[in-house]
Chains A and B, each alone.
Chain A
Amino acid sequence: DTGVSQDPRHKITKRGQNVTFRCDPISEHNRLYWYRQTLGQGPEFLTYFQNEAQLEKSRLLSDRFSAERPKGSFSTLEIQRTEQGDSAMYLCASSLIGQGGSPLHFGNGTRLTVT
């Protein structure tokens, strides 16, 4: 399968702990996005990268959140000092910008539960 891959699929953590999620985009895609989705709502944009450069961060992304894409391939999203309000599905997506282009393709997400 050459789709967007996310790991882990589920994460349960206690409030105050740090968590890190990984995303492997579609291999030829140069843009990578992180979204958050709460139950019954549509996904909300958090941040995106073009290659290794983080180009934009939403105001939803507090300073407890940090995302990296060190080699322009996979990305990690870390949440420090988790709070119960961080419980959500974290979705990664990728696209190809340039000749031809492509729509945004999502992975199956990491469901975070903070107890």
Chain B
Amino acid sequence: GESVGLHLPTLSVQEGDNSIINCAYSNSASDYFIWYKQESGKGPQFIIDIRSNMDKRQGQRVTVLLNKTVKHLSLQIAATQPGDSAVYFCAEKFGDSWGKLQFGAGTQVVVTP
């Protein structure tokens, strides 16, 4: 399944399939991006980050792709599991501090059996 963020805020994925969550960012000068997962009633949980000198970074079952030309970020989740159901946020650094982040509105991922 594939999402375009604000235009498709809910992404339904069958268990075992790959998920792709998309995010458009606003500032072409942004040099750091990060993905968070947020479950109901909990704070955002760090998934993976990427600096602007890279275009791809892999973690455990997740891959982040960065296309600076079109200011686009995506998160790919391999073999989606029920525990992956959550809201996913992309965020970009703004200002001088690495922890000062501008968050997108989020995408709800629902994993169906």
Residues of A within 8 A of B (CB): 4, 31, 33, 40-45, 48, 55-56, 91, 93, 95, 97, 101, 103-109
- A42-B89, A42-B91, A56-B95 known; A106 vs B43 contact (CB < 8 Å): yes
Shortest distance in angstroms between A26's beta carbon and chain B's nearest beta carbon?
12
Count contacts on B: residues with CB < 8 A to the other chain: 22
Residues of B within 8 A of A (CB): 34, 36, 41-46, 49, 89, 91, 95, 97-106
A89, closest chain B residue (CB): B43
Known: A42-B104, A104-B34. 16 other contacts (CB 8 A): A4-B43, A31-B97, A41-B105, A42-B89, A42-B105, A42-B106, A43-B44, A45-B102, A55-B97, A91-B44, A95-B98, A104-B101, A105-B46, A106-B36, A106-B45, A109-B43
Check if A44 sits within 8 Å of B43, measured CB to CB.
no
